[in-house]
Structure formats: C-alpha cells, structure tokens
Amino acid sequence: MTSALPLVAASLSMQRLVRDAARWALHTSPLLLSGEAGTGKATLALVIHANGPRPAFPYLALDCRTLGHTAAEGPVYVARWEAALQRARGGSVFLQAIDTLPTILQARLVRLLTEQRLTGNCPVRFLASTTVDLASAAASNRFRQNLFYSLVPLSVPPLRDRLLDLPVLIQQFLHRLGAPQATLTPEVWQALRAHRWPGNLRELATVLERAVRLRDTDTLTLSDFPDLQPAHLAASSTAGEHAHRSR
C-alpha cells in the first residue's frame, strides 16, 4: 500500500496507524506512541516530525530514563529539561519512555501543554513513547493523570500482528545490509512467519544481519537462522504455551 508516510503498511493494523499518524502529523498536537519495545516508535516519531508543519526546525530525542530521579538530582534534570526545550524551539521534542519522566517535569509539561492548548502558541511540539500501560499507571497514580489525558494516543502494533509487512521489511533490511540479491528458502519464510518476534523489528534486523554476515551463499536457509525454529516446531511450542496458560 502506498501511504502518505514513508512506512511499510501492507497490514491492516499498520494501514490504520499510518492513516492516523499522517493526519496528526499535519498538526502540533502532543502524541503518545505506545507499543512494545522494538516496534519502531522512535522511527515513527521522526517520520511524523519530518512530515509535519515544521520539518526544517530542530528535532530532539530525549530519553527520560537518563534525566535522574532523586531529589538531589532535581536541579540538574530541570536544567537539562529547559536546555532541551531551548535547543528544540520551533521544532519537536521526542520524549522516549515518558513513563519514567520525573514527577516535577511531568508537572511542568502539563503546564506547557495546557498553555499551548489555551493560547494556540506552540513553540515546541511534543511526541512521546512508552512500552508500559500508561492508562493503568495513571489510574494507580504512578503517572500524572492530567498529563496522560493531555496526550493523543497512537498504538504501534507488534511485528507478529503485521506479518503481511514481512516481505517488504526484510527486503529493506537486506538492502541496508548490502545484500539485496539474497534470497530466502520457503522453509525460512515459514519459520519467519511462525516466529513470535518478542523483540519486534529490532530482533528481525539482528536476525537478518547475523544470517547475512555469516552466510556461505546468497541463498539463506534455516541453518543461517539458528534462533528460528522450523514452522511446525514453532506452532507446537505456541500451542503448548496456550495450553499451559489455560490450566
């Protein structure tokens, strides 16, 4: 499917995400990108910025886990926060792992977003990501509810829910690895589709890189993918897990 954003979207789940993200990219509303680790939230944030109203302005990614959380560190991370906003002025700030944003900065961000909404003046556009259930965190007061409800949610699907995207994703990774001529046997394709991909796109990239770098020929077989089980074994393992959980 050709989409308004340069993202692979053959699967219905990705088509919905790309459609919504393309619409929100045209505005400066604060967005919350939620999904498992490795699903491509950082890439999506950058694409939204690049296709938004301010692509020529700065884009700054800030990992909230590095800001510090003790009272003694308060002045340090507040200073870093203010410096980051100045550097990104006119552009976008991407808050990675916003669920770990220190409480004092959550309060500051709420004030900023409220002011932007009331005045229509948006000197910095905020994008955020999380791998946790932020609704539950807000409900149990582990995250500010007023901040959670200030962010527009976009859910990024895991790789196992977008298997129709696998062929294009794999071809993209092979090109990046300098091996566009490499081919995969039918057994490999079956194993790739049967795999659960707990590490999502990050895991897929690593699996393919190892296979490409250590290959003997341009035809990749199951022996080039030691972490993948043959499809029938993967299916048996998944069935066993479901049976165990149902007991």
Whether residues 153 and 57 share a domain: the answer is: yes
pLDDT tens for residues 27-62? 999 999 999 999 999 999 999 999 999 999 999 999
Whether residues 204 and 241 share a domain: the answer is: yes
Among 86, 170, 93, 167, which residue's Cα sits nearest to residue 125?
93
Interatomic CA distance for residues 119 and 111, integer angstroms: 12
| Residue 5 pLDDT | 82
121 occurs within a structural domain: yes
CB of 148 within 8 A of CB of 30?
no
Q: What is the mean pLDDT of residues 153-162?
A: 98
CATH of the domain at 76: 3.40.50.300
| Residue 70 pLDDT | 64
Interatomic CA distance for residues 112 and 196, integer angstroms: 40
Whether residues 60 and 105 share a domain: the answer is: yes
pLDDT tens for residues 182-192? 999 999 999 99
How many whole angstroms from its chain centre is CA 246?
31
| Residue 230 pLDDT | 76
| Residue 71 pLDDT | 59
Could you tell me the pTM of the whole model?
Answer: 0.88
Kindly indicate the confidence band of residue 80, based on its pLDDT and cuts at 50, 70 and 90. Answer: confident
Whether residues 108 and 193 share a domain: the answer is: no
Kindly indicate the confidence band of residue 1, based on its pLDDT and cuts at 50, 70 and 90. Answer: very low
247 or 41, which is more confident?
A: 41
Domain boundary among 111, 136, 157: 157
Residue with tokens 């250590």: 214
CATH of the domain at 177: 1.10.8.60
Whether residues 206 and 230 share a domain: the answer is: yes
3 occurs within a structural domain: no
Instruction: Specify the long-range contacts of residues 131-138, CB closer than 8 Å, at least 24 apart.
Output: 131/34, 131/35, 131/36, 131/37, 131/97, 131/99, 132/99, 134/32, 134/34, 134/98, 134/99, 137/99
At residue 211, does pLDDT exceed 90? Answer: yes
* Percent above pLDDT 70 for the chain: 89
Give me the domain span that covers residue 20: 12-157
